[in-house]
Amino acid sequence: MSRSPLIRSMLWLLLTLGGSGTMAEEIVAPLSSGNRALADFRPGEESKPAVLLLHGFLQTYRFSTIQLIAEALADNGYTVLAPTLTLNIDQRHNGLDCEAVQNHSVADGNREIADWLAWLTARGYSRIAAIGHSSGSMRLLSYLGTQPQPAVDYFIATAIGPFDDWRDPETTRQQLASARRRLHDAPNAIHRYTLAFCRNNYIAPSAAYLSYMEWSTPWLLQQLHQSPVPLHLILGGDDGWLPPEWGATLRATTLPLTVIEGASHNFTGPQEFDFQDAIIALLDGAAELNP
């Protein structure tokens, strides 16, 4: 469903002023870890796949981009489950500050993704698509590569990128070397690192930090090519958070890629409608291929 620039601008203004009015239910579910987790759940049409939608680094399901996607999916008849990863905090409601002690790892997130997929399948959803934003895309890719869930038959990775610190690669090399030494000398001690938007204030045990830093550019590209389910990548053309050469790197591969020109990392502003349209078109196409 394409929209003219005028219609897109009017819709953006309406959403900015008043919201879409889409209703959602917050659910609380026990996880295998013993923690309870929160999720935004929106039931849709039985004929369409359910969508597991995952937020980015240290965020929650209330993050603007996640709500943007959830509303578009629900408006188009898709069931949406958008959980908040606990990050080992029971019923985590809020985004986590960089300065908080970060006692979580990629493997912890994988286990929670498995729990939420089990939650969906227990309720009769046998066809599931996965959509992630930013590091949520990386987490879903990690899960699918380590313990694939047969019910997941399609994956859309939005704003996905490596955890390399392209702004200061030398500091990254030094911190990686220190973390690997500390992993053996004092595995439970916490230290300051740079990770994503946390600039030398990501406070975590070395093992937790290293679990994310494994997702360097070469590793991420390898995992994307080895995805056990069909995938499609969506990037913002003006994404200032990812390495400047990342878009060109992806274009040089055979990976299916859509670039939303003018869009930022979070796809906010007038470009959000092109972003929504791209997601719905991809899901509708995948659903037709896998009825």
Residues 73 and 190 in one domain: no
Separation of alpha carbons 218 and 177, rounded Å: 18
Number of domains in the chain: 2
Residues 181 and 268 in one domain: no
Task: Kindly give, in sequence order, each residue whose CB lies less than 8 Å from that of residue 71, ignoring residues fewer than 6 positions away.
Answer: 20, 22
Residues 150 and 72 in one domain: yes
Residues 154 and 275 in one domain: yes
Task: Kindly give, in sequence order, each residue whose CB lies less than 8 Å from that of residue 190, ignoring residues fewer than 6 positions away.
Answer: 101, 203, 204, 205
- Binned at pLDDT 50, 70 and 90, residue 187 comes out as confident
**pLDDT, tens only, 135-167:** 999 999 999 998 766 789 999 999 999 998 888
What pLDDT does 291 receive?
A: 61
Cβ pair 156, 140 in contact under 8 A: no
What pLDDT does 219 receive?
A: 96
Choose the final residue of a domain: 214, 233, 254.
214
Residues 210 and 125 in one domain: no
Residue 46 structure tokens: 């039985």
Q: In percent, how much of the chain has pLDDT > 90?
A: 83
Residues 136 and 205 in one domain: no
Which 3-state string (H, E, C) describes the chain? CCCCHHHHHHHHHHHHHHCCCCCCEEEEEECCCCCEEEEEEECCCCCCCEEEEECCCCCCCCCHHHHHHHHHHHHCCCEEEEECCCCCCCCCCCCCCCCCCCCCCHHHHHHHHHHHHHHHHHCCCCCEEEEEECHHHHHHHHHHHHCCCCCEEEEEEECCCCCCCCCCHHHHHHHHHHHHHHHHHCCCCEEEEEECCEEEEEEEEHHHHHHHHCCCHHHHHHHHHCCCCCEEEEEECCCCCCCCCHHHHHHCCCCCEEEECCCCCCCCCCCHHHHHHHHHHHHHHHHHHCC
What pLDDT does 290 receive?
A: 66
Average pLDDT over residues 170-191: 92
- Point out the least confidently predicted range of 9-13, 28-32, 62-66, 196-200: 9-13
Residues 201 and 249 in one domain: no
Stated pTM of the model = 0.90
Cβ pair 203, 100 in contact under 8 A: yes
Cα-based torsion angle of the residue sequence 191, 196, 197, 200 in order, rounded to the nearest 10 degrees: 20
Residues 150 and 187 in one domain: no
Separation of alpha carbons 134 and 157, rounded Å: 8
Task: Kindly give, in sequence order, each residue whose CB lies less than 8 Å from that of residue 286, ignoring residues fewer than 6 positions away.
Answer: 49, 129, 153, 154, 230
Residue 20 pLDDT greater than 60, yes or no: no
Average pLDDT over residues 186-210: 93
Choose the final residue of a domain: 179, 214, 249.
214
Question: 173 — phi, psi (to 5°)?
Answer: -60, -40
> Could you tell me the CATH number of the domain that includes residue 66?
3.40.50.1820
Residue 281 pLDDT greater than 60, yes or no: yes
Its domain, for residue 201, covers 165-214
Cα-based torsion angle of the residue sequence 35, 158, 156, 130 in order, rounded to the nearest 10 degrees: 10
How many CB atoms neighbour CB 111 within 10 A? 14
Choose the final residue of a domain: 184, 214, 244.
214
Cβ pair 111, 88 in contact under 8 A: no
Task: Kindly give, in sequence order, each residue whose CB lies less than 8 Å from that of residue 1, ignoring residues fewer than 6 positions away.
Answer: 277, 280, 281
Residue 288 pLDDT greater than 90, yes or no: no
Residue 256 structure tokens: 């299916």
Average pLDDT over residues 115-128: 95
- Binned at pLDDT 50, 70 and 90, residue 1 comes out as very low
Residues 158 and 171 in one domain: no
Question: What does the mean pLDDT of the chain come to?
Answer: 91
What pLDDT does 147 receive?
A: 76
Residue 60 pLDDT greater than 50, yes or no: yes
Residues 116 and 255 in one domain: yes
**pLDDT, tens only, 212-229:** 999 999 999 999 999 999
What pLDDT does 166 receive?
A: 85
Q: In percent, how much of the chain has pLDDT > 70?
A: 90
What pLDDT does 151 receive?
A: 83
Helix 169-185 crosses helix 206-213 at what angle (to 10 degrees)? 140
Residues 30 and 46 in one domain: yes
- Point out the least confidently predicted range of 4-8, 49-53, 188-192, 264-268: 4-8
**pLDDT, tens only, 30-58:** 999 999 999 999 999 999 999 999 999 99
What pLDDT does 107 receive?
A: 96
Angle at 154 between CA 46 and CA 135, to 5 degrees: 115
Residue 287 pLDDT greater than 50, yes or no: yes
What pLDDT does 289 receive?
A: 64
Residues 207 and 82 in one domain: no
